[in-house]
Amino acid sequence: MNLLHAMILGLIEGITEFLPISSTAHLIMANSLLGIQQTAFTKSFDIAIQFGAILSVVVLYWKELFVNREVAKRVIVAFVPSAVIGLFLYRIIKSFLFESKPIIIGALILGGAGLIVFELLHKEKPSALDDLAVLPYSKCLVLGLWQSLAMIPGVSRSAATIIGGLLLGLRRKQIIEFSFLLAVPTMLAATALDLIKSGSSFTLDQFGLLVIGFVVSFIVALMSIKFLLSYIRRNNFIPFGIYRVVIGIALLAVLVIR
């Protein structure tokens, strides 16, 4: 991996992290298309730059995270399932799931089809919850379980959380914002765990590449969040579902040809 690769991957991460299209799948596939050899460092890089994008949430939503205690408590409760599952499945996720292109492609296609079907069937009720500060803790735990599905590369963390929230009766804007907030402890923990386990083997140059990817993803993600919030005021996620299916089929064709 070189400086240009780090910048490209940071750009991809910043664009895709908050869209329901799976940033992890895009990063893994981008590594493959760029000819970047999969090593312990590149896998850690893909995880760490995701926290760069997540840091943009801290900048935009610092009041909800650090001032609004009721919302912050609910974010912490929703984080628990991911923390427990991620801790126990860390080795499987990094050594097996990140290596399996068929799983990634299958998750992209099936997730896209599921997103399309869901949007066609789902109707938001007038009574939908629009205040995160009163979200029941039981629903917070269920949302955490929904987010945990994204440990499978290709399953979008934001899409899983958003669909789970809509099924639980939250308004679209509120569950999207909650998915932003929930990403902060989730990716902070994932990045810290990975760097603790693997960081000691990285060179100074590799840490430099991490910083570049981190900064680029942070800057681009600021714009990506604002785009998504603007987009959902008048649109649904069907175009993203179609995109997932199309890109999944295209990647499947490349995999077969190779």
What would the pLDDT profile of 18-48 be if each residue is shown by its tens digit?
888 888 888 888 888 888 887 778 878 887 8
- Check residue 114 and give its pLDDT: 92
pLDDT of residue 258: 67
pLDDT the model gives residue 95? 65
The pLDDT assigned to 33 comes to 83
- The residues with which 129 forms a beta bridge, in sequence order, are 170
pLDDT given for residue 6 in this prediction: 92
pLDDT in tens, the chain (258 residues): 889 999 999 999 999 888 888 888 888 888 888 888 877 788 788 878 888 888 888 888 888 778 788 999 999 999 999 888 877 776 776 666 666 788 888 989 999 999 999 999 988 888 888 888 999 999 999 999 998 888 888 888 888 999 999 999 999 888 988 998 898 888 788 777 777 777 667 788 888 898 899 899 999 999 888 888 888 888 889 999 999 999 999 888 887 876
CA distance 252 to 51: 28
> Are 173 and 125 contacting, i.e. CB atoms less than 8 angstroms apart?
no
Coil, strand or helix at 47: helix
- Spatial contact of 109 and 46, defined as CB atoms under 8 Å apart: no
CA distance 190 to 175: 22
**What pLDDT does residue 203 have?**
83
Cα 169 to chain centroid distance, Å, stands at 22
Residue 220 pLDDT: 93
What is the C-alpha end-to-end distance of the chain, expressed in Å?
A: 22
Task: Identify the three-state secondary structure at position 203.
Answer: coil
DSSP secondary structure letters along 196-225: HHHGGG--HHHHHHHHHHHHHHHHHHHHHH
Cα(61)–Cα(67) distance, integer angstroms:
10
Closest CA to 80 of 137, 135, 141, 132: 141
Cα three-residue angle 162-111-124, rounded to 5 degrees: 35
Measured from the Cβ of residue 210, the count of other Cβ atoms closer than 10 Å reads 22
DSSP string of 102-151, one letter each residue? HHHHHHHHHHHHHHHHHHHH----TT-B--GGG--HHHHHHHHHHHHGGG
